Amino acid sequence: MHITPEDAAQSLAQIQQTQHRALRSAPPMFPSWYLVAVWTFVAGMQLVTEVTTPWVLWIGAPALAIALAVAVVAFIREVRNQALRPHASVVDPWSWAGLAGWIVATSLGGVAMAFGFQALGVAYPRTIMGAVMVAIVALTAPVLTRWMSVRTARRAETSER
């Protein structure tokens, strides 16, 4: 069988187009629900340490820790079993920098919010901050994880040109 250089180039281009379509339509590199689960754990710990009675704390804190451990196991399973995962060599490092920036921004935003609520004399400022931050994270985490995947797909496309 004889394959001309033009046929080989055309086949390679078709393979690359298929890869790019798959990367663009793939689910995010990791599930955004995990970020929400972590913030829910934080908000739950704020609730049981700031608002509840000691006996609820002794039950609530271990229950929250177990729930977070279950979330970590589910996260690892989901990431390992993803049908399409980009190779580390094509993952855009700026997407990870964006994740780090998002973590810092949400953490510092939460601290500033708690201090603001405290300065305003709001009852249970850290618990309210935790609840508000869960809502903010639930709204922004899917956008963040999708953005990370789009950056990776673009990097894969431009690295092959």
Return the domain boundaries, the chain. Answer: 5-159
Taking only the tens place, the pLDDT of each residue in 45-76 is 999 999 989 899 999 999 999 999 999 999 99
Q: How many residues are recorded in the chain?
A: 161
Cα separation, 119 vs 117, in Å, equals 5
**What are the pLDDT digits (tens) for 75-90?**
999 888 877 666 666 6
Q: Which residues contact 125 (CB under 8 A, 6 or more apart)?
A: 114, 115, 116, 117, 118
Statement: residue 161 has pLDDT above 70 = no
Q: What is the pLDDT of residues 126-160, one digit of tens each?
A: 999 999 999 999 999 999 988 888 888 777 777 65
pLDDT band at 3 (very low <50, low <70, confident <90, very high): confident
